[in-house]
Copies of this chain bind each other. A is one copy, B any other.
Amino acid sequence: MNTRLLGTFRGGDSGQWQIERASAVIGPPLPAVARLAVDVGERQAPVQNQGLWILRGVTSFERYVQTDEKARLVERQPPLDRPQATRAALIPIKKSAAWWQLPQDERRAIFEDRSGHIARGLEYLPAVARRLYHGYDLGEPFDFLTWFEYVPAAAEAFEELVNALRQTEEWSYVEREIDLRLVRAE
């Protein structure tokens, strides 16, 4: 059974991840911080240190993945928390009102048939582990917080993946995107 997980990402001066690079890809940046504290659990983590900013999301059901794609994903996707995966990325994204008003078939056509979001991602498995947190129904400032973990050797491939996605039709609906690159603090 899938357990609903709440992800809380606090930017500040403490936390298990060190900020290596922070870019405002589209729209305004987040305040600059040195560290990221990540809490994942079935209940909201009690927040002792607010940090400079907090982003929240929840794992949820699959919005676009179809039967055949799900089988390939399940077969290839690696778990999170691999000890050798010392690099991570947190990519918060907000899509436009125009995106959210599209009917399901049109969103799926843009997302996969015309932008190849799932197919492109599959090419980078099992190098890159991934978990998607949803913020849209929560009224969060970002609709999606995608968390990635990878080994240092996969950093260039990961760069290639995010750059390719940013050229797609899907990305024309992204109105804010932040890209945080992280190194596990020893």
Interface residues of A (CB under 8 A from B): 1-2, 4, 6, 58, 60-67, 69-70, 97, 100-101, 103-106, 108, 134, 136-139
Residues of B close to A4: CB separation below 8 A:
139
Q: Are B138 and A66 in contact (CB under 8 A)?
A: no
Q: Are A137 and B58 in contact (CB under 8 A)?
A: yes
Query: How many angstroms between the C-alpha atoms of A108 and B66 in the bound complex?
Result: 10
| Smallest beta-carbon distance A110→chain B, Å | 12
Query: How many angstroms between the C-alpha atoms of A4 and B100 in the bound complex?
Result: 11
Q: Are B67 and A100 in contact (CB under 8 A)?
A: no
Determine how many copies of this chain the complex contains: 2
Closest 10 CB pairs of A and B: A137-B137, A66-B105, A61-B100, A70-B103, A67-B103, A1-B97, A66-B103, A58-B137, A65-B103, A60-B137
Residues of B close to A134: CB separation below 8 A:
137
Q: Are A103 and B139 in contact (CB under 8 A)?
A: no
Q: Are B106 and A67 in contact (CB under 8 A)?
A: yes
| Smallest beta-carbon distance A85→chain B, Å | 26
Residues of B close to A69: CB separation below 8 A:
103
Residues of B close to A66: CB separation below 8 A:
103-106
Of the listed residues A6, A65, A137, A138, the one surrounded by the most CB atoms of chain B closer than 10 A to its CB is A137
Residues of B close to A137: CB separation below 8 A:
58, 60, 134, 136-138
- Tell me the nearest residue of chain B to A109, going by C-beta: B67
| Smallest beta-carbon distance A6→chain B, Å | 8
| Smallest beta-carbon distance A83→chain B, Å | 29
Q: Are B60 and A104 in contact (CB under 8 A)?
A: no
- Tell me the nearest residue of chain B to A138, going by C-beta: B137
| Smallest beta-carbon distance A9→chain B, Å | 17
Partner of A61 from the list B6, B101, B139 (CB cut-off 8 Å) is B101
Query: How many angstroms between the C-alpha atoms of A103 and B106 in the bound complex?
Result: 17
